[in-house]
A and B are shown apart, each in its own frame.
Chain A
Amino acid sequence: MVKAYGSGETRVVALDHVDVDIARGQFTAIMGPSGSGKSTLMHCLAGLDTVTSGQIYLDETEITGLKDKKLTQLRRDRIGFIFQAFNLLPTLNALENITLPMDIAGRKPDAAWLRQVVETVGLAERLKHRPTQLSGGQQQRVAVARALAARPEIIFGDEPTGNLDSRAGAEVLGFLRRSVDELGQTIVMVTHDPVAASYADRVLYLADGRIVDEMIRPTADAVLDRMKDFDARGRTS
């Protein structure tokens, strides 16, 4: 797929013929320097942004070309989101935030599943708290729980640990990892943090709008080395 902004001389290509498959039940990380198009890729995959050309499928559904109404439904029912910050509605308490996508859809949350999710992320004690009464790590865990609670087919994370200290970050990433391992969840995460990427099953490297490399079962050190490599190449070329 291609994503371009503007036209003619001012045309900027953010995604240049990217072809990517996200495997079900896997934790995929998308890495790349700023401006590489990784966030754009995620936004397009998640149906938040439209592509200039190409097609995107979620399972059997082509999401490119869907109208806003259908896209909204798709996001609501089949996709989960974790953003870097400002994930929660300040007026709702933790539990209400977690069940919000299902409430909007008018669905009853599966009580047993909800309990399991809440316990997994360790929030059982804080469900009645408002976001402002929670720490940054707790807020992100609520966001993870919200993403998981609706049992979406895929969860997209946009630098979900970008605003957290390393301990809180590790906690959240641990939950994401466990949700893949134990709950069979599919997760795509955009990050520039090699440590975060090391939690994934597979890392895609993006540079100048193209996928330039891929790493299976990464470790933090290997990811870091690969990144340095790109940087060096980027400087010499």
Chain B
Amino acid sequence: MSANTVMKTSLRNFLAHKGRMALSAVAVLLSVAFVTGTLVFTDTMDKTFDKLFTATASDVTVSPRDSEAEGSDTGRPEALPASLLATVKQADGVKSAEGAVSSMNVTVVNADNKNMGSENGAPTIAGNWTNNDLRSMEITSGHAPRGPTEVMVDADTAKKHHLKLGDELRTIAVTGDIRAKIVGVASFTVTNPGAAVVYFDTATAQRELIGKTGQFTQINVAAADGVSDAQLKKNVAAELSGNGTYKIQTQQQAADANAADVGSFMDVIKYALLGFAGIAFLVGIFLIINTFSMLVAQRTREIGLMRAIGSSRKQVNRSVLVEALLLGVVGSVVGVGAGVGLAVGLMKLMSAAGMDLSTNDLTVKWTTPAIGLLLGIVVTVLAAYLPARRAGKVSPMAALRDAGTPADTKAGVVRGIIGVLLTGGGGFALYLATQADKASQGSLWLGVGIVASLIGFVVVGPLLAGLVVRVISAVLLRFFGPVGRMAERNALRNPRRTGATGAALMIGLALVACLSVVGSSMVASATDQLDKSVGADFIVEGQGGIKPQAADALKKVEQDGLVSHVTEVKWVKTTLTTPGGVKEEEELSAASPSYTQDLRREATSGELSAAYGKNAMSVGSDFAERNHLKVGDTMTVAFHHGSTAKLRIAAITSDDTAFDKGAMYTNIATAEQYLPKDRVPLNGMMFAKAADGKETAAYKALKSSVAADPTVKVKDQTDYKETLKDQVGQLLNMIYGLLALAIIVAVLGVVNTLALSVVERTREIGLMRAIGLSRRQLRRMIRLESVVIALFGALLGLGLGMGWGATAQKLLALEGLGVLEIPWPTIISVFIGSAFVGLFAALIPAFRAGRMNVLNAIATD
């Protein structure tokens, strides 16, 4: 038999069974589409940002040395003297240069006090309108701002919030509020993914955003004709030498630096999404293995005949693999196309959610379809390898034997032993993880345990299927009489198939269960810790710190007698030197002394309140141990942008805590002593305690005091816990949504198994119908079988996942995740949901079985 004949046979088989291949193809398609979609989407985002950053950067930019690293703590952007502009202009090859001011630490609200900024993390930027902005924007109505009461806004924001010329905007900056009327609207000529931008005239921007006149945040330099950016950079650098150190970047460098910031965030998203695609692939593998196993089983006679007339094992083997290759190619090609569609859909969705992306920027790198195709095809062929090998092993005698249904009655002792060993090993690794006293070592064991127990469960699945299906049947199916009994027997007749089908569902549900356990343990632990250690009634958080306006307003409530104290907490960057000479970069928590009441911390040595004394501080027990510190030792604390202090260690706090682990406390007054006024960071957090019996009134008063700044949120403990729960819930929902892909593929697997089983059992079905099984009973039988398989997968998955989750919690107890909470409502709903998934999966197979003509069914060979 020539290769050509192999190909022809495979192609015919493939086409003859295209219906049976369809679901496997869909599984490949979905996984490939997800991978391709992810790559196209993230590449498009990258390109969008790249274009934006390239368009907004001037030929050469001069900016303060650490403009990004710091500055935002204080709410003031890093600045350089305006006098530098004249120096830069003297450099060779400068066509023009201008000073720019921009700050990202602003909030813009409209007349209704509504935040004009993005809610999905895109920044709000305020600056002066410069010629450089004309590279990426054009004024579409009105004019540029000319005085302190004039502001220009970007067109996207204007459109989103129905702003028009003449409307008043209030820009909340560190130095105070800027009230200005909109005099112009400028449109981006490149895609702006969502930043809200407002422009002032240069003087206003300097005064209000930097807090000083005579300073810029950067100098934009344009190159004269024929001067390269690199040359210009060199010239500017030469001109500036001796004037202090500055960051000088070409357009490309500036764009790259900006893109790198966004890029690392995008990478996280990309790899997370690819991870979920990987899970879907894994589940798809089960589906493909099952499909080919069943096709090979059904074709045993045919294969035997081929062997009898002289095909070699290799040829039979190859013919199955070629079929898999065809499946992989079809699934992957369509998948790549669908992936691009998915990316476009995702972009539209993001646009609807306020993150504008343009399909003009749609980026499909050549590697994207290549990766999609390669993955899809390789995975499919690899998955089909085992069934193909089994096909090769079919003896020529099979042609002569009665076709029947070859049952894998021997699930295999070897398989059982391997499975049990793996599961046992996995269980032991998980146990070790719970016993680990170092998180890194424990997480290694956790990883090993998860992988080993998962593989172990998959391997041992067919053996478990017998047991679990019987238990489920005993509880559930006995209400359905003989139909239930037949459903049970059918689910049991091929344990390997049931095992693999259930295992596919198991993977997705195990992750759901694991994450839901970790998630609810997180909430429970945090709530527990809040109850135990937070004494404050109210917690105040802001976006990028709490600006002085809001902080002052909160402190005023204290004067009204409604609150007994208001606490400020600032995080101050310092370089510490221990008496032993060890240098470390550390952030001090500079707080009001009342912080000790707001957050109760155990001191292992000394008194925590003493740390708030003059020139005193506290350190965490881990740090103290590592550096052999004790109370009374003196630390050398170099405040960044400030002076160096000698602070005495007055207390050592226990690091056995969830909040403020490792924090080093000092009094705000101490920090302020060593920092220039404009270098004192904004309040990172604030706390307040209500006066006795005035809780409700205090809450109301605190809330209304910061109403002017919508980014500042005051919460009492109940609301705070609620928010925490919501946030975790949202995160979990997002993950569940992504896991839905894997679960959908698994459900396709159940549909596939049932559909193929129905075909395989055509004669049986005909017989049953002939002797009086009604259509309804037949459909019910198939549905029940499906439900049993689904519940089998769910039971295994949920059990496994809860085990992982509980282990993870034990391990994370080291990090403060002290309370294990099993979210029973979620677990039980997933279990019940799985039964419905089973019903759903059986819809079409049951319908088709019911429609079978009794006579044809009996006559089928």
Please report the C-alpha to C-alpha distance between residue A68 and residue B855 in the assembled complex, in whole angstroms.
13
Is A175 interfacial (CB-CB < 8 Å)?
no
Please report the C-alpha to C-alpha distance between residue A91 and residue B773 in the assembled complex, in whole angstroms.
16
Asked if A48 contacts B493 (CB within 8 A), the reply is no
Asked if A76 contacts B772 (CB within 8 A), the reply is yes
Asked if A72 contacts B769 (CB within 8 A), the reply is yes
Residue among A75, A80, A100, A104 with max Cβ neighbours from chain B (10 Å): A104
Residue among A91, A100, A146 with max Cβ neighbours from chain B (10 Å): A91
Asked if B486 contacts A89 (CB within 8 A), the reply is yes
In the complex, the chain B residue whose C-beta lies closest to that of A103 is B482
Asked if A72 contacts B773 (CB within 8 A), the reply is yes
Is A43 interfacial (CB-CB < 8 Å)?
yes
Q: A92-B486, A103-B482, A106-B481 are in contact. Are A86 and B767 (CB under 8 A)?
A: yes
Asked if B771 contacts A68 (CB within 8 A), the reply is no
Q: A86-B767, A89-B486 are in contact. Are A104 and B773 (CB under 8 A)?
A: yes
Is A174 interfacial (CB-CB < 8 Å)?
no
Please report the C-alpha to C-alpha distance between residue A6 and residue B854 in the assembled complex, in whole angstroms.
19
Asked if A90 contacts B767 (CB within 8 A), the reply is no
Asked if B767 contacts A92 (CB within 8 A), the reply is no
- Cβ contacts under 8 Å, A73 to chain B: 772, 774
Asked if B763 contacts A91 (CB within 8 A), the reply is no
Is B644 interfacial (CB-CB < 8 Å)?
no
**Would you give the shortest CB distance from A5 to chain B, in whole angstroms?**
12
**Would you give the shortest CB distance from A147 to chain B, in whole angstroms?**
9
Asked if A48 contacts B772 (CB within 8 A), the reply is no
Asked if B481 contacts A105 (CB within 8 A), the reply is no
A residues 95-152 in Cβ contact with B at 8 Å: 96, 100-101, 103-106, 146
A residues 72-94 in Cβ contact with B at 8 Å: 72-73, 75-77, 80-81, 83, 86-92
Asked if A92 contacts B771 (CB within 8 A), the reply is no
In the complex, the chain A residue whose C-beta lies closest to that of B483 is A104
In the complex, the chain A residue whose C-beta lies closest to that of B486 is A91
Is A49 interfacial (CB-CB < 8 Å)?
yes
Is A235 interfacial (CB-CB < 8 Å)?
no
Please report the C-alpha to C-alpha distance between residue A90 and residue B493 in the assembled complex, in whole angstroms.
9
Asked if B763 contacts A76 (CB within 8 A), the reply is no
- Cβ contacts under 8 Å, B407 to chain A: 90
- Cβ contacts under 8 Å, A90 to chain B: 404-405, 407, 493, 764
B residues 765-812 in Cβ contact with A at 8 Å: 767-775, 777
- Cβ contacts under 8 Å, A76 to chain B: 771-774
Please report the C-alpha to C-alpha distance between residue A220 and residue B580 in the assembled complex, in whole angstroms.
115
Asked if A75 contacts B481 (CB within 8 A), the reply is no
Q: A90-B764, A92-B489 are in contact. Are A48 and B777 (CB under 8 A)?
A: no
Asked if A146 contacts B772 (CB within 8 A), the reply is no
**Would you give the shortest CB distance from B406 to chain A, in whole angstroms?**
11
Is A233 interfacial (CB-CB < 8 Å)?
no
Please report the C-alpha to C-alpha distance between residue A161 and residue B764 in the assembled complex, in whole angstroms.
19
Is A69 interfacial (CB-CB < 8 Å)?
yes
Chain A interface bracket (under 10, 10 to 19, 20 to 34, 35 or more):
20 to 34
Please report the C-alpha to C-alpha distance between residue A17 and residue B329 in the assembled complex, in whole angstroms.
56
Please report the C-alpha to C-alpha distance between residue A106 and residue B777 in the assembled complex, in whole angstroms.
12
- Cβ contacts under 8 Å, B763 to chain A: 86
Give the residue of A72, A88, A91 whose beta carbon is less than 8 angstroms from that of B489: A91
Asked if B771 contacts A48 (CB within 8 A), the reply is no
Please report the C-alpha to C-alpha distance between residue A148 and residue B763 in the assembled complex, in whole angstroms.
22
In the complex, the chain B residue whose C-beta lies closest to that of A163 is B402
Q: A90-B405, A92-B489 are in contact. Are A83 and B775 (CB under 8 A)?
A: no
Residue among A73, A83, A146 with max Cβ neighbours from chain B (10 Å): A83
**Would you give the shortest CB distance from B785 to chain A, in whole angstroms?**
11
What is the total number of residues of chain B having a CB less than 8 Å from a CB of chain A? 27
Please report the C-alpha to C-alpha distance between residue A146 and residue B772 in the assembled complex, in whole angstroms.
12
Give the residue of A77, A87, A92 whose beta carbon is less than 8 angstroms from that of B772: A77
Is B858 interfacial (CB-CB < 8 Å)?
yes
- Cβ contacts under 8 Å, B774 to chain A: 69, 72-73, 76, 104
Q: A48-B770, A83-B767, A104-B777 are in contact. Are A43 and B486 (CB under 8 A)?
A: no
- Cβ contacts under 8 Å, A146 to chain B: 771
**Would you give the shortest CB distance from B139 to chain A, in whole angstroms?**
76
Is B490 interfacial (CB-CB < 8 Å)?
yes
Give the residue of A49, A81, A86, A103 whose beta carbon is less than 8 angstroms from that of B481: A103
In the complex, the chain B residue whose C-beta lies closest to that of A136 is B402
B residues 618-664 in Cβ contact with A at 8 Å: none
Please report the C-alpha to C-alpha distance between residue A106 and residue B482 in the assembled complex, in whole angstroms.
8
Please report the C-alpha to C-alpha distance between residue A226 and residue B185 in the assembled complex, in whole angstroms.
105
Give the residue of B404, B481, B764, B854 whose beta carbon is less than 8 angstroms from that of A89: B764
Please report the C-alpha to C-alpha distance between residue A76 and residue B492 in the assembled complex, in whole angstroms.
26
Please report the C-alpha to C-alpha distance between residue A89 and residue B487 in the assembled complex, in whole angstroms.
12
In the complex, the chain B residue whose C-beta lies closest to that of A93 is B489
Residue among B483, B489, B772 with max Cβ neighbours from chain A (10 Å): B772
Please report the C-alpha to C-alpha distance between residue A76 and residue B854 in the assembled complex, in whole angstroms.
14
- Cβ contacts under 8 Å, B772 to chain A: 72-73, 75-77, 101, 104-105
In the complex, the chain B residue whose C-beta lies closest to that of A84 is B858
- Cβ contacts under 8 Å, A87 to chain B: 767
- Cβ contacts under 8 Å, A88 to chain B: 767
Please report the C-alpha to C-alpha distance between residue A48 and residue B858 in the assembled complex, in whole angstroms.
10
Please report the C-alpha to C-alpha distance between residue A81 and residue B858 in the assembled complex, in whole angstroms.
12
- Cβ contacts under 8 Å, A81 to chain B: 770-771
**Would you give the shortest CB distance from B408 to chain A, in whole angstroms?**
13
Please report the C-alpha to C-alpha distance between residue A89 and residue B775 in the assembled complex, in whole angstroms.
17
- Cβ contacts under 8 Å, A72 to chain B: 769, 772-775
In the complex, the chain B residue whose C-beta lies closest to that of A87 is B767
In the complex, the chain B residue whose C-beta lies closest to that of A72 is B774
B residues 401-443 in Cβ contact with A at 8 Å: 404-405, 407
Please report the C-alpha to C-alpha distance between residue A92 and residue B774 in the assembled complex, in whole angstroms.
18
- Cβ contacts under 8 Å, A103 to chain B: 481-482
- Cβ contacts under 8 Å, A92 to chain B: 486, 489
Please report the C-alpha to C-alpha distance between residue A101 and residue B770 in the assembled complex, in whole angstroms.
10
Please report the C-alpha to C-alpha distance between residue A29 and residue B179 in the assembled complex, in whole angstroms.
105
**Would you give the shortest CB distance from B836 to chain A, in whole angstroms?**
26
Please report the C-alpha to C-alpha distance between residue A86 and residue B860 in the assembled complex, in whole angstroms.
11
**Would you give the shortest CB distance from B473 to chain A, in whole angstroms?**
13
**Would you give the shortest CB distance from A71 to chain B, in whole angstroms?**
9
Please report the C-alpha to C-alpha distance between residue A91 and residue B489 in the assembled complex, in whole angstroms.
6
In the complex, the chain B residue whose C-beta lies closest to that of A80 is B771
Asked if B777 contacts A83 (CB within 8 A), the reply is no
In the complex, the chain A residue whose C-beta lies closest to that of B773 is A104
Give the residue of B768, B769, B855 whose beta carbon is less than 8 angstroms from that of A49: B855
Please report the C-alpha to C-alpha distance between residue A68 and residue B407 in the assembled complex, in whole angstroms.
33
Give the residue of B404, B482, B775, B858 whose beta carbon is less than 8 angstroms from that of A104: B482
- Cβ contacts under 8 Å, B770 to chain A: 48, 75, 81, 83
Asked if A83 contacts B490 (CB within 8 A), the reply is no
Asked if A43 contacts B482 (CB within 8 A), the reply is no
Q: A90-B405, A105-B772 are in contact. Are A48 and B854 (CB under 8 A)?
A: yes
**Would you give the shortest CB distance from B407 to chain A, in whole angstroms?**
8
Please report the C-alpha to C-alpha distance between residue A89 and residue B774 in the assembled complex, in whole angstroms.
16
Please report the C-alpha to C-alpha distance between residue A81 and residue B481 in the assembled complex, in whole angstroms.
22
Residue among B482, B763, B855 with max Cβ neighbours from chain A (10 Å): B482
Please report the C-alpha to C-alpha distance between residue A87 and residue B489 in the assembled complex, in whole angstroms.
17
- Cβ contacts under 8 Å, A91 to chain B: 486, 489-490, 492-493
- Cβ contacts under 8 Å, A104 to chain B: 482-483, 768, 771-774, 777
Binding site for A on B (CB under 8 A): 404-405, 407, 481-483, 485-486, 489-490, 492-493, 763-764, 767-775, 777, 854-855, 858
What 9 pairs between A and B have smallest CB-CB spacing? Answer: A76-B772, A91-B489, A103-B482, A72-B774, A75-B772, A101-B771, A86-B763, A101-B772, A104-B773
5 contacts between A and B (CB under 8 A): A49-B855, A87-B767, A104-B482, A104-B771, A106-B481
Binding site for B on A (CB under 8 A): 43, 48-49, 68-69, 72-73, 75-77, 80-81, 83, 86-92, 96, 100-101, 103-106, 146
Known: A104-B772, A105-B772. 16 other contacts (CB 8 A): A72-B772, A72-B775, A75-B770, A75-B772, A76-B774, A86-B763, A86-B767, A86-B858, A89-B764, A89-B767, A90-B405, A91-B486, A92-B486, A92-B489, A104-B482, A104-B771
